[in-house]
Structure 1
Amino acid sequence: MTLLAGTWDGVYRTTGPRFDAAEQVLDCGRVLRVRQFDAFDGVFAATKSGLYHSTDDGDSWTDLDVPREEVYSVVGSPDGDRLYAGTHPAHLYVSESGEEREDDSRSWRELESFQDLPSREEWYTPRHRNEAHVRSLGAHLDVPERVIAGVEVGGVHVSDDRGETWEERKDGVHDDVHHVLVRGPDHYVASCGGGLYRTRDAGESWTRLDDSLDQTYFREAFAHDGVLYAAAARSSPGTWRGERGADAALFESVDDGDSFDVVEYPGHPEEVVLSWTVGDDTIVAGTNDGGVILRDGGEWVEGGRVEAGVAALCAL
């Protein structure tokens, strides 16, 4: 298996589950997401310097020319007709099938109705230049017209017409949304700066899952083979250095988040798990300090290290 790690210093690649000999394949600055989609060739890297696309396992990359430079999220529609990009500040763009240019970049159109949501004026935070960003985008094969957007800071929003119009689904969920895991057409888990939340009705209602846990700052959840994985720190990244460190934890649930087991992992409790992927039935996770860990035989073991925090992972 080939693994790509999106870090705070570009994209790195290695062969096999370990990252002992990773090479940098994209020098693009900070990476937010590295993703592939069943209906699209290749892999996409959403970064603070643009949205990049590779069709040769990371050997070469094309800048897709999203109108705003800082691209925080990307998702492809299940039918392959539309590619969506979420940016900082919080805008949403779409590129439709057939709009590829000769240089493999794309034409984009802003989904302007996203700016008309009732809470739009409230989407900002001082630590992000008093602005917000579309931190997460999701879709599901069973509802190909639907797009799910998570905004930091601004909540969860859903479109049922391919992004042309939007509804707020933010009541009952913390507004500092880092990631929305789409587990089913109506079943999502939102990782937020103030808790972990689940919906089974496409965001019409939310249940908080972390009431019994000590850590409440969640970055991303992951599900595989009936197990829900989540990781959190006690507070935001500004507190992750110093004598106490992040005071981080990793959680596993076999009942969809109704209960969690706290599990040990290399780097605990100083390092926070930020990203996940699975390849050849091996779960791989990355931490804020460049650590890569593997789930092997029911335990988490060391899997190598890269030079910067691992914000995204993708197994090809």
Structure 2
Amino acid sequence: MHVLCGTRQGVYRGRPGEFDDATRVLDSDRVMRIRQFGPRVYAATRSGLYRSLDGGDSWTRLETPQSEVYSVLEAPVGEQLFAGTHPAHLYVSTDGGDSWTERAGLQRLPSRETWHTPRHRNEAHVRSLGAVGADRLVAGIEVGGVHRSEDDGATWTERNDGVHDDIHHVLVRDTDHWVASTGNGLYRTRDAGQTWTRLDEALSNRYFREAFAHEGRLYAAATAGSPPTWGSPSDTDAALYESDDDGDSLRPVEYAGGPGAFVLSWAADDGNVYAGTTSGLVLRRDDDGWFGVGSVPSAVASLAAVAASESR
């Protein structure tokens, strides 16, 4: 097994405990998301969508209608490939990325004209995509809220009542059970977004990038402000939280690099949980806590634990 780290400089590959010798396997613009579906690994980046068929050793760029790809999903796995882009559009391919069709229903949502922010060229992007059952999808828009489709992305309904609209990630825990990480809070729904519960009311830090769940435990991290405030490690002021009660209580835990290293991403394999930080430090959770296992030259925006290629 090795871990792929998506950074501002492309994708790095390292073995647990050997990240100081990590190798850059994809030279690209900023990586937004790395995801694996079956034997296929995808890197959604600001310079396009890339696919690897050998665990990340080599990559092929897939031509997409928009060049800036922020999210990727196979649903059903092996049958349909979705790409969420900047500006905020959703495309689907049924031939492995050779051709694409837009799911234009996303553009017809009542709130569509409000999807923009000065920080992102007065536009928005499809930051998160998840499958929540047969023909059911959930999309998180930065900035534009959470939306659900029950017909394979053809039409959509808004699920924004009670959740902040600056969506960074939607963690799908079950068909109706999701956790949304936003620029102002961590939220949970157990009814497919019809109602939301805010989980961070007792915390001072409110900027969340991504939550993660593994073996019944929920993991999250937060800072006091958005990226423009992270001028130095002392300004980052990050905290890492764990919860064994589905987020009803979030307990802060110590970790290597904190509070100057904000956790942006997560992955798990063989009972191990990994975290990637703004400083490039990669952490691993063991029985005694969170410890550094190496680093890469840039912030780790996304992580994936994948099987090593048999050719290596």
- TM-score band, normalised by the shorter chain? over 0.9
Q: SS of the counterpart of 1:87?
A: strand
- Determine the C-alpha separation between the residues in 1 that align with 2:52 and 2:217: 31
**CA contact under 8 A between 2:186 and 2:208: conserved in structure 1?**
yes
Query: Which stretches of structure 1, 4 residues or longer, exceed 6 Å deviation after superposition?
Result: none
Residue 176 of structure 2 corresponds to which residue in structure 1? Answer: 186
Match of 2:168, as an amino acid?
A: H
Residue 71 of structure 1 corresponds to which residue in structure 2? Answer: 69
**CA contact under 8 A between 1:135 and 1:179: conserved in structure 2?**
yes
1:267–1:243 CA distance, 2 compared to 1 (3 A): closer
Residue 54 of structure 1 corresponds to which residue in structure 2? Answer: 52
- Determine the C-alpha separation between the residues in 1 that align with 2:19 and 2:45: 21
**CA contact under 8 A between 2:233 and 2:260: conserved in structure 1?**
no
Aligned to 1:273, which of 263, 266, 278? 263
Give the gaps of 5 or more residues in structure 1. none
* TM-superposed deviation, 1:79: 4.5
- Determine the C-alpha separation between the residues in 2 that align with 1:188 and 1:243: 31
CA RMSD of aligned residues (A): 1.1
Q: SS of the counterpart of 1:238?
A: helix
Task: Spell out, residue by residue over 1:215-255, the C-alpha distance to the aligned partner (whole angstroms, 9 max, x if none).
Answer: 10000000001100000100101111247411100000000
1:244–1:13 CA distance, 2 compared to 1 (3 A): closer
- Determine the C-alpha separation between the residues in 2 that align with 1:244 and 1:290: 16
1:294–1:59 CA distance, 2 compared to 1 (3 A): same
Aligned to 2:115, which of 111, 119, 123? 123
- Determine the C-alpha separation between the residues in 2 that align with 1:298 and 1:122: 46
Q: SS of the counterpart of 2:209?
A: strand
Q: Superposed, which structure 2 residues align to 1:66-105 within 5 Å? A: 66-96=64-94, 99-100=95-96, 105=97
Q: Superposed, which structure 2 residues align to 1:1-316 within 5 Å? A: 1-38=1-38, 41-96=39-94, 99-100=95-96, 105-140=97-132, 143-242=133-232, 244-316=234-306
* TM-superposed deviation, 1:60: 1.5
* TM-superposed deviation, 1:256: 0.2
Number of residue pairs matched? 306
Match of 2:175, as an amino acid?
A: P
- Determine the C-alpha separation between the residues in 2 that align with 1:17 and 1:314: 15
Q: SS of the counterpart of 1:274?
A: strand
- Determine the C-alpha separation between the residues in 2 that align with 1:30 and 1:47: 6
- Relative to the length of structure 1, the TM-score reads 0.95
Task: Spell out, residue by residue over 1:247-298, the C-alpha distance to the aligned partner (whole angstroms, 9 max, x if none).
Answer: 1000000000000110011111111100000112111100011111110114
- Relative to the length of structure 2, the TM-score reads 0.96
- Determine the C-alpha separation between the residues in 1 that align with 2:295 and 2:250: 27
- Determine the C-alpha separation between the residues in 1 that align with 2:40 and 2:87: 27
* TM-superposed deviation, 1:18: 4.1
Match of 1:196, as an amino acid?
A: L
**CA contact under 8 A between 2:170 and 2:180: conserved in structure 1?**
yes
**CA contact under 8 A between 1:294 and 1:303: conserved in structure 2?**
yes
- Determine the C-alpha separation between the residues in 1 that align with 2:64 and 2:183: 27
**CA contact under 8 A between 1:45 and 1:53: conserved in structure 2?**
yes
**CA contact under 8 A between 1:215 and 1:233: conserved in structure 2?**
yes
Task: Spell out, residue by residue over 1:139-184, the C-alpha distance to the aligned partner (whole angstroms, 9 max, x if none).
Answer: 13xx121110000000000000000100000111000000000000
Identical columns (%): 60
- Determine the C-alpha separation between the residues in 2 that align with 1:210 and 1:26: 36
Task: Spell out, residue by residue over 1:86-141, the C-alpha distance to the aligned partner (whole angstroms, 9 max, x if none).
Answer: 00000000011xx24xxxx421001111100000000000010000000000113x
Q: SS of the counterpart of 1:310?
A: coil
Match of 2:125, as an amino acid?
A: H
Match of 2:129, as an amino acid?
A: L
Q: SS of the counterpart of 1:36?
A: strand
Give the gaps of 5 or more residues in structure 2. 307-312
* TM-superposed deviation, 1:37: 1.8
